[in-house]
Amino acid sequence: MSNLYQTTFFIKKFNKTFFMAKTTSDYLVNRLYEWGIRRIYGYPGDGINGVFGALNRQKDKIDFIQTPHEEYAAFMACAHAKFTGEVGVCVATSGPGAIHLLNGLYDAKMDHQPVVAIVGQQARAALGGSFQQEVDLTTLFKDVANEYVHMATSPRQIRHLVDRAMRIAKNERTVTCIILPNDLQDVDYEEPARVHGSVHSSMSYSKPSITPNEADLQNAANLLNEGNKVSILIGAGAYHAADEVMQVADLLGAGVAKALLGKASLPDTLPYVTGSIGLLGTKPSWDMMMECDTLLMIGSSFPYSEFLPKEGQARGVQIDIDGKMLGIRYPMEINLQGDSKETLRKLIPLLKKKTDRDWRNKIEKGVAEWWEVMEARAMKSADPINPQRVFWELSSRLPDNCILTSDSGSSANWFARDLKIRKGMMSSLSGNLATMCPGVPYAIAAKFAFPDRMPIALVGDGAMQMLGNNGLITIKKYWQRWSDPRLMILVLNNKDLNQVTWEQRVMEGDSKFEGSQALIDFPFAAYAQLLGLEGIKVDNPDEIVSALDRALAATKPVVLEVVTDPNVPPLPPHINLQQAKGFTSSLIKGDPDAWEMIKDTYKEVVATYLHK
Ligand SMILES: Cc1ncc(C[n+]2csc(CCOP(=O)(O)OP(=O)(O)O)c2C)c(N)n1
Ligand SMILES: [Mg+2]
């Protein structure tokens, strides 16, 4: 008898196939399937083998993807949620496997993504016995999965544990966790008995339509109508409301700045989109925030208040689906809880079109000038390659509908500033946790979710050496399954943990600490070739364009390794006195790269102020 029939059986009734689970694990996997889960990311171990047996028996229903590390599984589940809007699921074994998930799970939690983590545990009878790999997982996950973490001790709990973990992940847009002792995974499934103390849960979930009440909408409209210089700040929560944001910006004569997670929420091709905001932001965003008299914030929890108007300078309206996230970044006069699209739809008829377009014209002029600065900065020579040049050239060559992922190094600066995102593209990065290493796993998960689109990961050499190189092995394992194998990883090989090197200089006023910052020169492109992938290395600025064209036309996943200059400064949109002092004192203290840095910074400043 086949394995399938030893452990599961099907009954036919009224022309429908009902799945009858044998073990609790079979039940769990099927229940996840019934909740709509079609892919699970994870890594095995004896603490979770019962579930893996069930995944094997039901592999026609749920696609299991083996990741190179449990942290990848959590990043990929998070990316799945970010790019599809569905729940992402990851699975890991007890003890070390569960611990490895954590960073990716925090990434999901902090960026408000629904992710369910399923982890193994030692056998029920061993718990409390200081058994091997026994970690108090309920306590360990209590923070990251604070909305819902439970350990099953009876097969009769499995139904409601799955139902609640799924429902709470969706409803709260957060991480939930189910812990399964390994002996329980193989126990026959039992439905909850009809007795006192039994829980009878169900599955259906429909997203409610949430909008503020009419009076609050009218108050918000009045406030916005009274403003003369309106600025809008959007985040990932406005991604599905692009048309409405455009209408509101037009009516109010406003400019629109974007938090990093909202980079794809509005195309950069619009003349009034000021681009990113914050330390990695643009000058037009900075100027708009410093001069506006009204702030409308939509679907964003952008944290750096010093880049928002001063308290008292602007009157504010905030729209967010999550009531908990309202009114925490700026003292808003009106906080509206609601879906961004539906709320804006109700707000639009209440807005009066501003006839005075001076403010808007000023913003558009600032934006146009800024793009010239970006081009001028990109074209400055560097040793050997100016990273901004790579992003600038990539920008106009981005394939339609591509999915951009960025890591947390200096690439995030160039991603934020130099890439002109167009309609139909998606992008993400670790916005709130700002962890290293999501770039490659996000791109792989994007490929699984949208095989016909091209993910492009923008990653530093430090992140590649930390976890990214292992992702190449996973790509090797799976890429031939993808109907369209295009996937590009752009590696900035600067032999430095560059973002932090600049932070040491500018924020701390210290010189670069070679011991903590220097990286070895790893052959990323050659390594990709060794794995049978495409690998292209470029260290000559004259070859950037041809290398990009080759990489974008590659017929298999490609690593494009660009040897970039670590001394090109990721200048903030403005340098304040404190940062400038820190910067100079680092030079006085004898930074190993002082002379190169002075040259490159000088070129950047010249490009900023004398670009014409
Ligand atoms: C897990 C983790 N460790 C450390 C950091 C601090 N950090 C942020 S960016 C960065 C440097 C990244 O270096 P690399 O990937 O080479 O990118 P580069 O800045 O050089 O382009 C570090 C160490 C972090 N954000 N996350
Ligand atoms: Mg680096």
* Ligand 1 centroid to residue 520 C-alpha, Å: 15
Beta strands in 107-165 (DSSP E): 115-121, 149-151
Q: Pick the closest to residue 258 from 441, 435, 429 (CA basis).
A: 429
Asked whether residue 314 carries a pLDDT value surpassing 60, the answer given is yes
- For residue 532 the two structure tokens come to 């049978």
Ligand 1, residue 461: give the atom nearest the CA. Answer: 16
Residue 6: the pLDDT is: 39
Among protein residues, the one with the nearest Cα to ligand 1's atom 16 is 462
Q: Which atom, in ligand 1's list, is nearest to the CA of 502? A: 19
- Given a contact cutoff of 8 angstroms between Cβ atoms, the answer to whether 277 and 289 are in contact is yes
**pLDDT of 159-201, one tens digit each?**
999 999 999 999 999 999 999 999 999 999 999 999 999 999 9
pLDDT of residue 575: 62
pLDDT digits (tens, 9 = 90+) for 445-455: 999 999 999 99
Query: 3-state DSSP call for residue 609?
Result: helix
Which has the higher per-residue pLDDT, 599 or 55? 55
Pocket test for ligand 1, best of 103, 499, 519, 562 (most atoms within 8 A of CB): 499
How sure is the predictor about 573, in pLDDT bands with cuts at 50, 70 and 90?
Answer: confident
Which residue's CA is the nearest one to ligand 1's atom 25?
435
Pocket test for ligand 1, best of 418, 500, 506 (most atoms within 8 A of CB): 500
464 Cα nearest atom in ligand 1 = 15
Which of 337-341, 525-529, 552-556, 595-599 has the least mean pLDDT? 595-599
pLDDT at 229: 98
CA of 69 to the centre of ligand 1 (A): 19
| The pLDDT of residue 509 | 84
* 408 C-beta closer than 6 A to ligand 1: yes
pLDDT digits (tens, 9 = 90+) for 390-418: 999 999 999 999 999 999 999 999 999 99
8-22, 107-121, 429-443, 460-474, range with the lowest pLDDT: 8-22
Mean pLDDT for the stretch of residues 457-470: 98
Predicted pLDDT at 602: 66
Ligand 1, atom nearest to 430 Cα = 25
CA geometry: angle at 376 spanning 371 and 380, to 5°? Answer: 145
pLDDT > 60? residue 16: no
- Cβ-defined contacts of 582-588 (< 8 Å, 24+): 582/505, 582/506, 582/507, 582/508, 582/509, 583/505, 583/506, 583/509, 585/509, 586/504, 586/505, 586/506, 586/508, 586/509, 586/510, 586/511, 586/512, 587/511
Mean pLDDT of the chain: 94
DSSP one-letter code for 493: E
Tell me, using a 6 A CB cutoff, whether residue 409 lines ligand 1: yes
Look at residue 611 and tell me whether its pLDDT is greater than 70.
no
Residue type, 338: G
Q: Which pLDDT score is estimated for 293?
A: 98
Out of 388, 497, 564, mutate this one to test ligand 1's pocket (max ligand atoms within 8 Å of CB): namely: 497
Q: State residue 5's pLDDT score.
A: 36
Q: What is the pLDDT of residues 34-68, one digit of tens each?
A: 999 999 999 999 999 999 999 999 999 999 999 99
Structure tokens at 523: 């052959």
What's the whole-number mean pLDDT along residues 276-296? 97
pLDDT average, residue stretch 420-440? 98
Instruction: State the Cα–Cα distance between residues 416 and 119, nearest whole angstrom.
Output: 36
Q: At what angle do helices 411-418 and 387-397 cross, to 10 degrees?
A: 40
The rounded Å distance from CA 429 to ligand 2 centre is 17
Provide the pLDDT for residue 610. 59
Owner of token pair 């298999």: 556
Residue 235: its H or E element = none
The residue-averaged pLDDT of 490-498 equals 98
User: What is the reported pLDDT for 21?
Assistant: 72
Mean pLDDT of 308-327: 97
> pLDDT tens digit string along 464-488?
999 999 999 999 999 999 999 999 9
Share of the chain above pLDDT 70, in %: 93
Residue of minimum CA distance from atom 7 in ligand 1: 500
pLDDT at 604: 74
Ligand 1 neighbourhood includes 316 CB (under 6 angstroms): no
Determine the distance separating the centroid of ligand 1 and the alpha carbon of 206, expressed in angstroms.
39
For the ranges 7-11, 370-374, 554-558, the lowest mean pLDDT is seen at: 7-11
Q: Kindly state the helix (H) or strand (E) to which residue 457 belongs, with its residue range.
A: strand 455-460
pLDDT higher than threshold 80 for residue 119? yes
Ligand 1 centroid – CA 440 distance (Å): 14
The alpha-helical segments, DSSP class H, found in 58-136 are 70-84, 96-110
16-30, 309-323, 357-371: segment of lowest average pLDDT: 16-30
